[in-house]
């Protein structure tokens, strides 16, 4: 899910003057226009579907709990237990947000080949496309089957399917930040785009940033609710 790992968007107050924009070349201007249009459409579409997405996340968390209730009541509280918890609520989250994947693919198809004279901006946008495509193709594990296999091993080791899923999620998470300060990639992109934006596009960019922040808050709240629900139904006080 876009912005899943990066947290809330933090933006500065740098504005581009009219003379600065006048020096922007045609290719940079075209790429900026295409990116902002696609991002704006995606954020608007996602925001409009927030109720559906939140309900789907909560429903899938309920499905996992109903399939294997109290299964972790007597499991050892070790590193594997923490990984099982991560697998459970991450699976519920991604399964619940599946309805937005067509919109996400639409964004990917638009931005994955865009380029600017700024190599860093080009690299960041293509990394965004890579991350979002990876999310749309993420294979979700059978959480209850993995927990059952872990239990059958005498709690010795998690099955390979769980380990592979968590490694894949970690790899996607790695793409969401940039630089030694681990700045959100989306924040860095929006900051660099300001060099090429018209005043009207700056207003669009601010709307994108506001929508991203609102979506993040709703999805993070839904994820926290799903985690608590799973903790209760799987038989532990916290995952």
Q: What is the pLDDT of residue 19?
A: 41
Q: Please count the CA atoms within 13 angstroms of the CA of 79 that sit on its side-chain side.
A: 4
Residue 2 in contact with residue 42, Cβ under 8 Å? yes
- In angstroms, the CA 219 to CA 209 distance is 15
For residue 166, CA distances in Å to 89, 175, 183 come to 11, 15, 22
- In angstroms, the CA 199 to CA 173 distance is 33
Residue 230 in contact with residue 61, Cβ under 8 Å? yes
Length of the chain equals 239
Q: What is the pLDDT of residue 11?
A: 35
For residue 235, CA distances in Å to 59, 128, 160, 166, 232 come to 18, 37, 23, 22, 6
Q: What is the pLDDT of residue 41?
A: 97
pLDDT along the chain (239 residues), means of 10: 41 39 84 98 96 93 94 93 93 89 95 97 95 91 96 93 92 75 85 96 97 94 92 78
Residue 150 in contact with residue 174, Cβ under 8 Å? no
- Burial classification of residue 124, based on how many CB atoms lie within 10 Å of its CB (0-12 exposed, 13-18 middle, 19 or more buried): buried
Q: What is the pLDDT of residue 182?
A: 67
195 contacts: CB under 8 Å, gap ≥ 6 = 16, 20, 24, 118
Dig out the tokens for 157 from the structure.
């080791």
Q: What is the pLDDT of residue 104?
A: 94
Q: What is the pLDDT of residue 179?
A: 65
Q: What is the pLDDT of residue 117?
A: 97
87 contacts: CB under 8 Å, gap ≥ 6 = 141, 143, 146, 162, 165, 166
- In angstroms, the CA 97 to CA 50 distance is 9
Beta-bridge mates of residue 183: 178
- In angstroms, the CA 228 to CA 12 distance is 34
């Amino acid at each position: 899910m876009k912005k899943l790992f990066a947290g809330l968007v933090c933006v500065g107050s740098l504005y581009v003057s009219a003379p600065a924009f006048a020096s922007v070349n045609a290719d940079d201007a075209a790429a900026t226009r295409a990116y902002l249009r696609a991002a704006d459409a995606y954020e608007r579409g996602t925001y409009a579907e927030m109720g559906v997405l939140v309900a789907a996340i909560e429903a899938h968390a309920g499905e996992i709990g109903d399939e294997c209730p109290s299964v972790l009541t007597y499991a050892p509280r070790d590193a594997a237990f923490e990984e099982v918890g991560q697998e459970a609520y991450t699976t519920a989250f991604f399964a619940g947000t599946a309805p937005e994947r067509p919109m996400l693919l639409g964004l990917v198809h638009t931005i994955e080949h865009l380029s600017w004279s700024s190599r860093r901006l080009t690299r960041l946008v293509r990394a965004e496309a890579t991350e979002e495509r990876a999310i749309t193709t993420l294979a979700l594990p059978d959480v209850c089957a993995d927990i059952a296999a872990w239990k059958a091993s005498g709690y010795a080791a998690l099955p390979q399917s769980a380990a592979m899923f968590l490694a894949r999620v970690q790899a996607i998470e790695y793409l969401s930040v940039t630089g030694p300060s681990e700045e959100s990639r989306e924040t860095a992109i929006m900051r660099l785009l300001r060099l090429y934006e018209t005043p009207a596009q700056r207003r669009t960019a601010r709307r994108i940033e506001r929508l991203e922040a609102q979506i993040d808050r709703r999805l993070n709240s839904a994820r926290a609710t799903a985690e608590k629900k799973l903790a209760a139904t799987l038989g532990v006080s916290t995952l």
